[in-house]
């Protein structure tokens, strides 16, 4: 087999938190990616017994020097040619962002087609839940390297320092934030009682809406970033990837909520990752660049 005929690399390096119980951080992303056929190199940035939203918990953060050395080992690994993408999520310190930036730059130098997805896990409607220095490091060091970013609306608000109360405002902010592809979760919907995922590229914008479920479990953003990446690596067009990703995540959320689960039950509904049946309303929005040309 020639190099031109060789299949593209399928492995994904996932860098995020690890919990003993639950489906957040690496526990959500790794399961989803492996279920969808991708080998995963999983790197924990912090180790917890459960999500802090369930109550106080012991927090183990790797020493910054040791974390940097581990990342350095991955840079020089003999199997690095297997890696087609990097996904970063929750980080434990600002120094970790520097290590991730170095890894992404090194891998992209060897493979310009490598995708880097930055999920800037820094806050929610209650504000930042990481130190501001860490949030700034993700904004300033990692977002500029990202091919795709998947902030929630509140994280994007902090990044651009502006209120984002309409789809139009979200689109403008996404274009301002930098990465060429932005998937903004928890976006304002146009349907009553709904919520949306808004995907913005340099030339197109789509909104995928579904009904809102009150008090959802944590981990939806982690799962969304991983599934969207897998869809793109499978060759789906951005709008189709948005629709199928939103359907998968909403279906798992709705079924978990119906059972009264306090964590996403991804393992129970693994089939929803590859064959979702949930209805999602898709809208193609007027891209801000078209208004500028008018």
pLDDT tens for the chain, 294 residues: list them: 445 566 788 999 999 999 999 999 999 999 999 999 999 999 999 999 999 889 888 999 999 999 999 999 999 999 999 999 999 999 999 999 999 999 999 999 999 999 999 999 999 988 899 999 999 999 999 999 999 999 999 999 999 999 999 999 999 999 999 899 999 999 999 998 999 999 999 999 999 999 999 889 989 999 999 999 999 999 999 999 999 999 999 999 999 999 999 999 999 999 999 999 999 999 999 999 876 554
The pLDDT value given to residue 290: 75
| CATH code for the domain in which residue 183 is found | 3.40.1190.20
On whether residue 266 sits in a domain, the answer given is yes
Domain assignment of residue 218, yes or no: yes
**Predicted local confidence at residue 23, as pLDDT:** 95
State how far the Cα of 33 lies from the Cα of 11, in Å rounded to an integer. 9
What pLDDT does 289 receive? 82
Host domain of residue 151:
11-293
Task: Tell me whether residue 29 is in a domain.
Answer: yes
Residue 3 covered by a domain: no
Query: Which one, of 112, 105, 193, lies nearest residue 141 by Cα?
Result: 105
Note whether 281 and 209 are within 8 A (CB).
yes
Is residue 5 domain-resident?
Answer: no
Number of other CB atoms surrounding residue 156 within 10 Å: 26
Asked, for residue 1, whether it belongs to a domain, the answer is no
Q: What's the total number of domains in the chain?
A: 1
- Is 165 inside a domain boundary? yes
Query: Exposed/middle/buried for 163, CB within 10 Å: 0-12, 13-18, 19+?
Result: exposed
**pLDDT number for residue 293:** 53
Strand pairing category for 205-211 and 148-149: unpaired
Distance CA 217, CA 178 (A): 29
Whether residue 152 lies inside any domain: the answer is: yes
Residue 293 burial by CB count (10 A; 0-12/13-18/19+): exposed, middle or buried? Answer: exposed
d(CA 185, CA 234): 21
pLDDT for the residue 1: 45
């Amino acid at each position: 087999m020639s190099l031109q005929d060789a299949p593209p690399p399928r492995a994904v390096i996932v860098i995020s938190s690890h919990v003993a119980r639950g489906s957040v951080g690496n526990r959500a992303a790794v399961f989803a990616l492996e279920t969808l056929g991708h080998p995963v190199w999983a790197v924990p940035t912090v180790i917890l017994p459960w999500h802090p939203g369930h109550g106080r918990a012991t927090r183990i953060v790797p020493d910054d020097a040791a974390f940097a050395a581990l990342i350095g080992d991955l840079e020089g690994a003999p199997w690095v040619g297997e890696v087609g993408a990097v996904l970063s999520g929750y980080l434990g310190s600002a120094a970790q962002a520097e290590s991730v930036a170095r890894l992404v730059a090194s891998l992209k130098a060897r493979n310009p087609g490598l995708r880097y997805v930055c999920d800037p896990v820094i806050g929610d409607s209650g504000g930042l839940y990481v130190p501001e220095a860490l949030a700034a490091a993700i904004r300033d060091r990692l977002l500029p390297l990202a091919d795709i970013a998947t902030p929630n609306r509140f994280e994007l608000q902090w990044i651009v320092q502006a209120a984002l109360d309409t789809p139009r405002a979200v689109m403008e902010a996404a274009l301002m934030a930098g990465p060429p592809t932005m998937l903004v979760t928890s976006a304002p919907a146009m349907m009553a009682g709904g919520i949306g995922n808004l995907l913005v590229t340099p030339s197109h914008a789509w909104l995928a809406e579904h009904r809102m479920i009150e008090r959802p479990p944590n981990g939806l953003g982690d799962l969304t970033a991983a599934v969207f990446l897998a869809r793109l690596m499978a060759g789906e067009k951005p709008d189709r990837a948005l629709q199928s990703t939103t359907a998968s995540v909403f279906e798992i959320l709705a079924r978990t909520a119906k059972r009264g689960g306090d964590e996403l039950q991804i393992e129970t509904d693994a089939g929803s990752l590859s064959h979702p049946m949930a209805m999602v309303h898709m809208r193609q929005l007027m891209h801000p660049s078209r208004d500028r040309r008018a």
